């Protein structure tokens, strides 16, 4: 039972981080709808669906690392926390404050942190790393969208 509870908690942590960040950012999301969007911008409904899936995969992967016997798990989980923190603040910088260039730079830092986390996870449990590949790909796509918004609206 404890193992199942820990898995649920591991999944709820990133979901909560995303929900709180979205809540704080909500005021800017309406204003964001007025800015010019780059090509390939998905409809608004796509974002909460994709992020829910990504946060769930992130939580499962962190649980896999947390329950491993590796001596490297603390360092890997530190990078998990770093990228989750960067993730939390990106939405606030981008949506709440509409600081598109600083948000892009922040997102590049997030992508680097995700890459390091994936590398650390791979050394412990490759499947945990693979579960985060959609996340880094989505963030790279988000960087394209973020940069496009900056260029089109400066």
Task: Find the domain containing 21 and state its range.
Answer: 2-152
Q: Among the residues of the chain, which ranges form H helices?
A: 2-32, 46-66, 73-91, 100-124, 126-130, 133-152
CA 89 vs CA 21, 23, 42, 112, 120: distances in Å: 7, 12, 22, 15, 23
What is the full per-residue pLDDT of the chain (154 aa) written as tens digits? 678 999 999 999 999 999 999 999 988 877 888 999 999 999 999 999 999 999 999 999 999 999 999 999 999 999 999 999 999 999 999 999 999 999 999 999 999 999 999 999 999 999 999 999 999 999 999 999 999 999 999 9
Sign of CA dihedral 153, 148, 114, 29: positive
Residues in CB range of 78: below 8 A, 6 or more apart:
none
How many independent structural domains does the chain possess? 1
Q: What pLDDT does 28 receive?
A: 80
**In this predicted structure, what is the pLDDT of residue 31?**
81
Residue 79 sits in a domain whose CATH number is 1.20.1260.100
Compute the distance between CA of residue 89 and CA of residue 67 in angstroms, rounded to an integer: 28
pTM of the model: 0.95
């Amino acid at each position: 039972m404890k193992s199942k509870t820990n898995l649920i908690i591991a999944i709820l942590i990133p979901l909560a981080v995303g929900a709180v960040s979205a809540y704080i950012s909500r005021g800017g999301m309406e204003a964001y709808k007025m800015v010019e969007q780059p090509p390939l911008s998905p409809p608004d409904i796509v974002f909460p669906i994709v992020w829910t899936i990504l946060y769930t995969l992130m939580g499962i992967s962190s649980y896999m690392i947390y329950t491993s016997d590796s001596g490297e798990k603390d360092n890997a989980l530190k990078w998990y926390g770093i990228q989750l923190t960067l993730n939390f603040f990106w939405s606030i910088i981008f949506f709440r404050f509409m600081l598109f260039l600083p948000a892009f730079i922040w997102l590049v830092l997030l992508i680097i942190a995700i890459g390091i986390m994936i590398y650390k996870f791979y050394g412990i449990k490759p499947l945990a790393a693979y579960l985060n590949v959609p996340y880094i790909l989505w963030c790279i796509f988000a960087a394209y969208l973020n940069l496009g918004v900056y260029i089109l609206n400066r």
